[in-house]
Structure 1
Amino acid sequence: MKIRTWVAACALTSMVMPAFAGEVLVSAAASLTNAFKELATQYETAHPGTKVLTTFGASDVVLRQITEGAPADVFASADQKAMDKAEAAKAVDPATRVNFVRNEVVLVVPADNPRGIASLADLKKDGVTRIALGNPASVPVGRYTQAALEKAGAWDTVKAHEILGENVRQVLSYVERGEVDAGFVFATDAAIMKDKVKVVQAIETPTPVVYPIALVQRDGRAPEAADFLKFVMSADGQAVLARYGFAKP
């Protein structure tokens, strides 16, 4: 079951940009959008003459763009599986791979919570017919969600009423606009819409929600890319990420 009213505003953030001298091209998971935009601004301020260009989307989609030739210098994924794929495709330098933040999956509902959902158990209530999650085939939050729900014995209920999102921000938008009864997103995404969505339960995932980052393996990679990665891992970079709700891995 799909909703066709999604306005692809985030499509602009996934446009492929050409690389020029003094530019660092960062391709990252959609859940990193706000934090990485601030990281880019801070890095540019500290490094006059350097421009950090960011593109965001579902980790698997971003990786596919890279493997198909889109220029990128840094790849940040929302799960290990996407980064494992990147290594297998020789799209990143494995020696630079490092875990840089931790997150968690939460069950969210529209702020007014018309169905009175307070936990996973309430997804079985009469009238709950639309539950949004990221597509597990390509979206890390969807993979985490499926694994968690299978462990909790709630996957069949959700599967029967699923509305699949192409990235975590699309799922968040469905919930925020009241187009679904509930959805599964990262805690950091829920935090940026705390006036529009309500977190009703943190979901225990079998695999910790830990994000890896690495330098892209390509000719012409920006020499500043390694320095940007160091900035992400620095105390200042980690402080920015913490302000957006990310924890240290």
Structure 2
Amino acid sequence: MKKIIKHSQALFFAFCVVLLLAGCGAGQQSASSGSSAVQNEVSGQDSSKKVETVELTISAAASLTDALKEIQTLYESSHKGIQLNFNFGGSGALEKQIEQGAPSDLFLSASKKNMKSLVDQHLIESNKQKTWLTNELVAVIPADGTTSITSVKDVMQKEVKKVAIGIPESVPAGKYAQEALTNVKLWDVLQDKLVQAKDVRQVLQYVETGNADVGFVYKTDALTSQKAKIAFEVDSKTYSTVEYPIGIIKASKHIQEAESFYEYLQSQESLNIMAKYGFTIPK
């Protein structure tokens, strides 16, 4: 009988030891998990937290469209969490939008005048803007066109029914074209032929589709088209230098990210892309 009791006590003791060891193991595992969670939180590795995407809105001249789309792909691939949203249009129209409070982080203009206006209104700080690129004005005709046009005076030919330019008040390319035509005494006599467009890309489209016989655009725009060709380069002495200033909007809600992209646009990688599309880098 005593042997049975002793045997039962031994089994009970062994069972208690097993429970105790199991409890210690669970406690160590829990402590280890807790320690790991604390370490992840301290090191910023909390897997439950996702990187928030910062969306930058860039108001940019329409003539920059193709080059900036290439830059967008490169920049977003190397800057995770940044999304670039471009608002392309005539620089004058974009300036008005910014003045009226439209959300924007950067302004990439095709005219110093529009940038200066925003600086004067303290919407862009003078030390947060600079000249970025330069361009040239050319006249384009349909690629399959048969009319011989080799100089600005040829736009007066009877065969030329429509001449497209950007609206001078809001499209810098249109303003430069007006200046050039005025200086060669053709602005007034061409009024009946003029077709005005909302931006330089629409001018190009008018020529490509045959809705205009001649159009005044930037050289960079002409180089992007398969349906239009350069008829002649406008004499640079007849119009002001085409400069593209860039600036950071003072009211940006993402100043740090805007400044990073502003600096990237001035990097050699970015400038090489712009040069590939025909833009000139100021010395």
**Total equivalences in the alignment:** 229
Q: Match of 1:200?
A: 231
Closer, same or farther: CA 220–148 of 1 in aligned 2, 3 Å: same
Answer yes or no: is 1:34 the counterpart of 2:66: yes
Whole-angstrom distance in 1 between the partners of 2:106 and 2:158: 46
Which of these residues, 191, 195, 200, is aligned with residue 223 of structure 2?
191
Q: Match of 2:125?
A: 93
Answer yes or no: is 1:137 the counterpart of 2:169: yes
Matched-pair contact (CA < 8 Å) for 2:164–2:216: yes
Q: Match of 1:15?
A: none
Answer yes or no: is 1:240 the counterpart of 2:283: no
Closer, same or farther: CA 21–64 of 1 in aligned 2, 3 Å: farther
Closer, same or farther: CA 219–230 of 1 in aligned 2, 3 Å: closer
In the TM superposition, 1:197-236 aligns within 5 A as 197-203=228-234, 204=236, 205-218=238-251, 220-236=253-269
Q: Which runs of 5+ in 1 are unaligned?
A: 1-19
Higher mean alpha-carbon deviation, 195-204 vs 229-238, is at 195-204
- What letter is aligned with 1:76? L
Q: Which runs of 5+ in 2 are unaligned?
A: 1-51
Whole-angstrom distance in 2 between the partners of 1:224 and 1:116: 50
Secondary structure class of the residue paired with 1:90: coil
- What letter is aligned with 2:228? V
- What letter is aligned with 1:241? M
Secondary structure class of the residue paired with 2:165: strand
1:199 offset after TM fit, Å? Answer: 0.5
Matched-pair contact (CA < 8 Å) for 1:123–1:157: no
In the TM superposition, 1:58-77 aligns within 5 A as 58-77=90-109
1:219 offset after TM fit, Å? Answer: 5.1
Answer yes or no: is 1:110 the counterpart of 2:110: no
What value does the CA root-mean-square deviation take over the aligned residues? 1.4
Answer yes or no: is 1:165 the counterpart of 2:201: no
Q: Match of 2:56?
A: 24
Higher mean alpha-carbon deviation, 77-86 vs 132-141, is at 77-86
1:25 offset after TM fit, Å? Answer: 1.5
Whole-angstrom distance in 1 between the partners of 2:184 and 2:266: 34
Higher mean alpha-carbon deviation, 205-214 vs 163-172, is at 205-214
Matched-pair contact (CA < 8 Å) for 1:109–1:199: yes
- What letter is aligned with 1:177? T
1:234 offset after TM fit, Å? Answer: 0.6
CA deviation map 1:69-122 (0-9, x unaligned): 211111010011111121123221221111111100101111122332222121
Q: Match of 1:56?
A: 88
Closer, same or farther: CA 46–219 of 1 in aligned 2, 3 Å: closer
CA deviation map 1:168-217 (0-9, x unaligned): 00000000111111010000000000x21110111124311110000001
- What letter is aligned with 2:170? S
1:41 offset after TM fit, Å? Answer: 1.6
Matched-pair contact (CA < 8 Å) for 1:134–1:167: yes
Choose between structure 1 and 2 for higher RCO, CA contacts under 8 A separated by at least 6 residues: 1
Structure number with bigger Rg: 2
Whole-angstrom distance in 2 between the partners of 1:24 and 1:51: 6
1:21 offset after TM fit, Å? Answer: 5.2
Closer, same or farther: CA 115–219 of 1 in aligned 2, 3 Å: closer
1:158 offset after TM fit, Å? Answer: 2.8
Q: Under a length normalisation based on structure 1, what TM-score does the superposition of the two structures give?
A: 0.88
Q: Match of 2:183?
A: 151
The structure where helix makes up a greater share of residues is: 2
